[in-house]
Amino acid sequence: MKFWYQTNIGWQAFCLSPLSALVRRLTDKRRRQRNQTAYQAPVVVVGNLTVGGTGKTPMIIWLVTALQQQGIRVGVVSRGYGATQKVNYPVSLTAQSSVAQVGDEPKLIQLRTGCQVVVDPDRDCAVRYLLQQHEVDVVISDDGMQHYGMHRDLELLMVDAKRLFGNQKLLPAGPLRESMARLASVDFIVTKGQPSRELILPEALQLSYAANLTFTPPTNAEGKSLTEKTINLASAIGNFDSFVASVEALGFQIAERHRFNDHDFIPESILSDSKLPLVITEKDAVKINLENYPNLYVLKLDFELPEAFKVNILSKIEALIHEKSSHHSSTL
């Protein structure tokens, strides 16, 4: 909603403030009743404070890859939002798992990293199942910052650098899922891109890290790079405006823009009838047989993060793994 991101508090936010007060009471209650029973392996939550896309999926892919490069076995749990087929949870993804069964983001994470991924709306159940069925050293939760039925050992908060926290009001008066006070309890804050203005953070955090966005030129199913500069655009992601800005920054001119709700499937008519090359995201691409659409190109997004952040977060996770393994060994 546009009024969420206005500099001044609009009349809409003012009128909705009583509902925001109710949301705050509910979220505070859930947090007080959070699960404090630790698992046998550390759980790292990659989540956000606001609704909409903040770059959680590319952050998870970056983090999983960085851990794997250190020889650490990583598993991911996800709610599987956007799945349309009824399945018996929990589901451990295989190469045959479809987006309709498990959702687009878990499938993308599995394809990009090859790690074990378990889907279940009950994240506590997902973590327990993952640890029972697979040998992993650390679990990363795709979202789940506000899912307090799942214990967590470390929290990484993602923030969109352009929108930040909007008007800093709780839903529905603003975009926040929890109050700004929640910032004081997270371990890391990473912005997707360079912040549009200075972040005012709790003293305990001291600083945030900015992820630089890097893009591979859009390619089709044959691996052919897009050379034409005038294109059409289509996507079903949480932050469509960010996708538009990224494509324009690469020098493309957008003739038509087709925006759909997050996790939706792009309609067949849009995919097949485009007279110009049609550019989509990786998240959209996992739901489509690209070989059927030679005029369809996928923009791949990756993160580059400061070496200081990499050293800091990997050392914290490795320490947690060591602590958990030592405790587990002493109880055998």
Q: What is the pLDDT of residues 94-148, one digit of tens each?
A: 999 999 999 999 999 999 999 999 999 999 999 999 999 999 999 999 999 999 9
Pairing label, strands 154-160, 188-192: parallel
Q: Which residue has the tokens 């949480």?
A: 238
List 170's β-bridge partners, or say none. Answer: 176
pLDDT for 209-225, tens place per residue?
A: 999 999 989 999 999 99
Q: What share of the chain is helix, strand, coil (3-state, %, to 5)?
A: 35, 25, 40
pTM: 0.94
Backbone φ/ψ region at 80: left (φ over 0), alpha (ψ -120 to 50), beta: left
Burial environment of residue 95 by CB neighbours within 10 A (0 to 12, 13 to 18, 19 or more): exposed
Q: Are 109 and 78 in contact (CB under 8 A)?
A: yes
> What is the mean predicted confidence (pLDDT) over 179-190?
93
Q: Which tokens is 311 given?
A: 């050293």
On whether 54 is known to bind a ligand per the annotation, the reply is: yes
> What is the mean predicted confidence (pLDDT) over 198-218?
83
On whether 50 is known to bind a ligand per the annotation, the reply is: yes
CA–CA separation, 300 and 215 (whole Å): 6
pLDDT at 328: 62
List CB contacts of 246: < 8 A, sequence separation 6 or more. Answer: 213, 215, 299, 301
On whether 57 is known to bind a ligand per the annotation, the reply is: yes
On whether 56 is known to bind a ligand per the annotation, the reply is: yes
DSSP state of 170: B
